[in-house]
C-alpha cells in the first residue's frame, strides 16, 4: 500500500518536475519576450508620435474623408494611424514569438493559423473600411440630394443607404474569412428581399398619395416663375 502510494507520488513529482523543466523556461521566455515586445511597441508609439509628421498621408486621410469617418471630430490623423498600427503589429509579432517559445504542437498550430489567417483578416478589414467609406460617401450624396430636392426624411434615407452599404461590406468580409457564411448570406437575402418587398408595398399602397402629391408638386414647381427666375438668371 505504502509502496503503491510512494510510486504514485514519485510519478506525480516526476511529471511535475518534467512539466516545470519543459514548460517553465518556455513560459518565462515567453513572458520576457512579451514584456520586451510591449516595451518596444510603447517606445515605437512614443517615438512615432513625436517624429512622424506624415503630411502627405494626413492630407490623403482628410481629403478622402477617412479621417472624419474614423473620428467624427476630425482629430484622427496620420501620426495616430501610423503609431497605433506599428504598436499593434509589434505587439502581435511579440505575442506570436512568445507563443513559439513554448514549442508545443498546440502553440505551433495557433501560430500557423494566425499567420495563414492574417492576409484574409487584413483583406476583410480593408473591405469593411472600404464599405464604411463608400457608405459615408453615398449617404452624404443621398442626404444632400434629398435636401435639395425636398424629399421627406433625408437623414433617415441617408442612414439607410449607409447601413445597407456597410452591411454588404460585412457580408463580403465574412465570406472572405469563411465566417458564418451561410448565416450572413441568408440574412443578406432576407434583408434585401424584405426591403424590396416593403418598399414596393409602401409605394404601391401606403405612400401612393404622398408620391402622387410629390410628383404633382415637382411638376407644378417647374412651371413656377420663381424657379424659372432662379434658373434662368444667373
Q: Residue 49 and residue 80: Cα distance in Å, rounded?
A: 7
Distance of CA 73 to the CA centre of its chain: 19
Residue from 40, 57, 62, 91 in contact with other proteins (CB under 8 A): 62
The one-character DSSP state at 150 is T
Shortest Cβ 69–other proteins spacing (Å): 10
Considering the complex, what minimum distance in angstroms separates the CB of residue 219 from other proteins? Answer: 10
Of the residues 44, 52, 68, 130, which one makes contact with other proteins according to CB under 8 A: 68
Task: Report the nearest approach of other proteins to the CB of residue 98 (Å).
Answer: 42
Q: Contact with other proteins (CB under 8 A): which of 65, 193, 194, 206?
A: 65
Q: Does position 63 bind other proteins by CB under 8 A? A: yes
Residue 55 in contact with other proteins, rule: CB under 8 A: no
75 DSSP 8-state letter: -
Question: Binding to other proteins by residue 226, rule CB under 8 A?
Answer: yes
- Asked if 54 is part of the footprint of other proteins (rule: CB under 8 A), the reply reads no
| Region 111-140 residues binding other proteins, contact defined as CB under 8 A | 137, 140
Q: Which is nearer to other proteins, 139 or 176 (CB)?
A: 139
Query: Is residue 44 within 8 Å of residue 115, measured between CB atoms?
Result: no
Q: Which of 227, 205, 208 is nearest to 216 (CA)?
A: 208
**Is residue 163 a contact point for other proteins (CB under 8 A)?**
no
Are residues 44 and 90 in contact, defined by beta-carbon separation less than 8 angstroms? yes
Query: How many residues belong to the chain?
Result: 234
The one among 18, 88, 118, 145 contacting other proteins by CB under 8 A: 145
Question: Within 10 A of 170 (CB to CB), how many other CB atoms are there?
Answer: 18
Cβ pair 132, 166 in contact under 8 A: yes
Residue 228 engages other proteins in binding (rule: CB under 8 A): yes
136 within 8 A of 91, measured Cβ to Cβ: no
CB of 157 to other proteins, least distance (A): 10
Residue 76 region, left (φ>0) first, then alpha (ψ -120 to 50), else beta? Answer: beta
Kindly indicate which of the ranges 5-13, 27-35, 111-119, 142-150 contains the residues binding other proteins, using the contact rule CB under 8 A: 142-150
Q: Tell me, rounded to whole angstroms, the distance of Cα 50 from its chain centroid.
A: 27
Q: Binding string to other proteins for residues 165 to 194, with x set by CB under 8 A, is what? A: ------------------------------
* Alpha-carbon gap, residue 169 to 71, rounded angstroms: 20
Positions touching other proteins (CB under 8 A) are 62-63, 65, 68, 74, 137, 140-141, 143-148, 150, 154-155, 222-234
Amino acid at each position: 500500500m505504502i509502496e503503491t502510494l510512494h510510486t504514485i507520488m514519485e510519478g506525480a513529482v516526476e511529471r511535475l518536475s518534467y512539466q516545470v523543466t519543459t514548460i517553465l523556461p518556455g513560459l518565462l521566455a515567453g513572458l520576457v519576450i512579451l514584456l520586451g515586445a510591449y516595451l518596444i511597441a510603447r517606445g515605437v508609439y512614443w517615438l512615432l508620435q513625436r517624429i512622424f509628421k506624415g503630411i502627405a498621408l494626413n492630407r490623403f486621410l482628410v481629403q478622402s474623408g477617412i479621417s472624419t469617418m474614423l473620428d467624427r471630430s476630425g482629430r484622427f490623423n496620420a501620426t495616430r494611424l501610423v503609431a497605433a498600427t506599428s504598436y499593434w503589429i509589434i505587439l502581435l509579432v511579440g505575442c506570436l514569438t512568445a507563443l513559439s517559445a513554448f514549442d508545443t504542437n498546440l502553440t505551433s498550430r495557433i501560430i500557423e493559423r494566425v499567420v495563414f489567417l492574417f492576409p484574409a483578416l487584413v483583406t476583410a478589414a480593408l473591405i469593411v473600411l472600404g464599405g464604411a467609406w463608400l457608405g459615408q460617401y453615398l449617404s452624404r450624396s443621398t442626404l444632400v440630394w434629398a435636401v435639395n430636392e425636398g424629399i421627406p426624411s433625408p437623414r433617415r434615407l441617408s442612414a439607410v443607404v449607409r447601413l445597407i452599404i456597410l452591411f454588404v461590406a460585412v457580408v463580403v468580409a465574412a465570406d472572405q474569412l469563411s465566417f458564418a457564411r451561410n448565416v450572413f448570406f441568408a440574412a443578406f437575402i432576407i434583408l434585401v428581399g424584405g426591403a424590396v418587398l416593403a418598399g414596393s408595398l409602401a409605394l404601391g399602397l401606403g405612400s401612393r398619395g404622398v408620391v402622387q402629391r410629390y410628383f404633382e408638386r415637382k411638376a407644378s414647381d417647374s412651371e413656377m416663375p420663381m424657379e424659372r427666375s432662379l434658373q434662368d438668371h444667373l
